[in-house]
Every structure is written in C-alpha cells, then in structure tokens.
C-alpha cells in the first residue's frame, strides 16, 4: 500500500526536492502551488497526508487548515505545516490551528521524512507497517530484526537498511547510484562498487543453502527484490 502525500508549497525548488525524496521513499506524490487550488483538490480527493506551507498565494496555509478541519472528510487528515517562521508563539499558533506537526525551514529532508513516517504510523498504521514481509522474509523495523522462514538472520546496519529499502519498494529496479543516494545518503561519496559488496553480504546472510535468491540483479540496470518475493496486489 502506497501512502499518498499532497505537497502544498509555492517554492518550486522545494516542491521538486520533496517530490524526489518522497517518491524515492515509495510515496505517491501530488502537489499544488496555491492555497485555494489545494482546497479544491482536497475536496475532490483526500490524500493520506498533506504538507502545507504557511505562506501561500490564494489562501494562507493557516486558513486552509481551518477549512480542512471544518469538513468531515478532511477533519482527521494528517497535516504537517512547513514554515519559515520559527518563533515559538507562531509555532503554537500553527499547532493550535490544527496541524499535527510543524517543521521550520530550512529543515533537513531526512528529518521531515522521519516526521512523516511517525505521523503516518500514528494515524494510518496500515500504511507504514512496523513489520515488512516479502515471501518468507520478515523485517521488523522497530526491533531491527530480520528472519527468513522463521530463523533469525544477522545483518549489519547497511545490509539491514538495504533490505528494508528493497522491501519498501517491491518490484522496482534501482541503479547502484540510486541505492547509494537512498541507503547511504546523498552527501557521502562512495564508489558504486560498494553497493555490490553489500548486496553480496546481504545475499550471503539471507541465502544459507537456499535456492531462491530474494535479490535480483538486473544486468546493466541494478538491483530489485525478486518477483517471487513481491506480493501480488
């Protein structure tokens, strides 16, 4: 299940950055530039979570939230407010108006992603499962444990994150560069062959004497979760 996120923000570079990162995390993303445009969009089809900028053309973020909270369909919509204003009193006002959380610009993308995950876990637990399953593999995000066919598999932190990422995005093929971005982080300079080394370790840990390899190497493209481990919808 993919959670749908609506970004309501008039700074285009920020929207692009957020869209890129959210899509890479497996979310379905839609965006709106104006507050009044967003209001209409939300009347037609409510997402699972909305990121709403404070200062918007057409209708302010605060007024938009006020309207959303007044309508039964969007009364409980999880909302994170984005804003350049950092004053404590404004912060309180933002939350009091009905946002569930609040983040001050400039913020770090990983921090926003963590807040989105936390809010979805609280409000839509089925969208952000604590335990991921693929075939006979079970990955527990909270306990940081992986089991295959009921037996614990011991993984290093990078292998764990790599497997978690592939399981979060079943069926999608990722290049080594994309995996470096998403699993290692964008600021790190690491040779792309490092990815192969960690995929090798992950396979070795998962595949003890087993025939079916859960990780598929796509020649010339990268890696993906083996289709036999992808649940059919």
* Min separation Cβ 57 and Ca ion, Å: 8
* Min separation Cβ 83 and Ca ion, Å: 8
**Which residue, 38 or 155, is less far from Ca ion as judged by CB?**
38
Positions that interact with Ca ion (CB under 5 A) = 10, 53, 55
* Min separation Cβ 67 and Ca ion, Å: 18
**Which residue, 21 or 83, is less far from Ca ion as judged by CB?**
83
* Min separation Cβ 86 and Ca ion, Å: 14
HEC profile for the chain? Answer: CCCEEEEECCCHHHHHHHHHHHHHCCCEEEEECCHHHHHHHHHHCCCCEEEEECCCCCCCHHHHHHHHHHCCCCCCCCEEEEECCCCHHHHHHHHHCCCCEEEECCCCHHHHHHHHHHHHHHHCHHHCCCEEEECCEEEECCCCEEEECCEEECCCHHHHHHHHHHHHCCCCCECHHHHHHHHHCCCCCCCCHHHHHHHHHHHHHHCCCCCCCCEEEECCCEEEECHHHCCCC
* Min separation Cβ 54 and Ca ion, Å: 7
**Which residue, 53 or 101, is less far from Ca ion as judged by CB?**
53
**Which residue, 61 or 98, is less far from Ca ion as judged by CB?**
61
**Which residue, 82 or 180, is less far from Ca ion as judged by CB?**
82
């Amino acid at each position: 299940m993919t959670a749908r996120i609506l970004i309501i923000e008039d700074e285009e570079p920020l929207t692009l950055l957020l869209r890129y990162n959210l899509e890479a995390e497996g979310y379905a993303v839609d965006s709106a530039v104006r507050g009044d445009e967003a209001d209409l969009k939300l009347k037609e089809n409510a997402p699972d979570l909305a990121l709403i900028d404070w200062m918007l053309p057409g209708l302010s973020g605060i007024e938009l939230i006020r309207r959303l909270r007044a309508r039964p369909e969007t009364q409980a919509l999880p909302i994170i407010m984005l804003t350049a204003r950092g004053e404590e009193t404004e912060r309180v006002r933002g939350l009091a108006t009905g946002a569930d959380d609040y983040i001050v610009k400039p913020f770090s993308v990983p921090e926003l992603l963590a807040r989105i995950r936390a809010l979805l876990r609280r409000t839509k637990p089925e969208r952000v499962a604590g335990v991921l399953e693929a075939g006979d593999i079970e990955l527990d995000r909270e306990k940081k444990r992986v089991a295959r066919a009921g037996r614990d598999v011991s993984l290093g932190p990078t292998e764990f994150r790599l497997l978690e990422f592939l399981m979060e995005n079943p069926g999608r093929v990722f290049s080594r560069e994309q995996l470096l971005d998403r699993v290692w982080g964008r600021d790190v300079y690491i040779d792309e062959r490092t990815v192969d080394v960690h995929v090798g370790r992950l396979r070795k840990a998962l595949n003890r004497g087993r025939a079916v390899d859960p990780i598929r190497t796509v020649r010339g493209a990268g890696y993906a979760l083996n289709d036999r481990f992808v649940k059919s919808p």
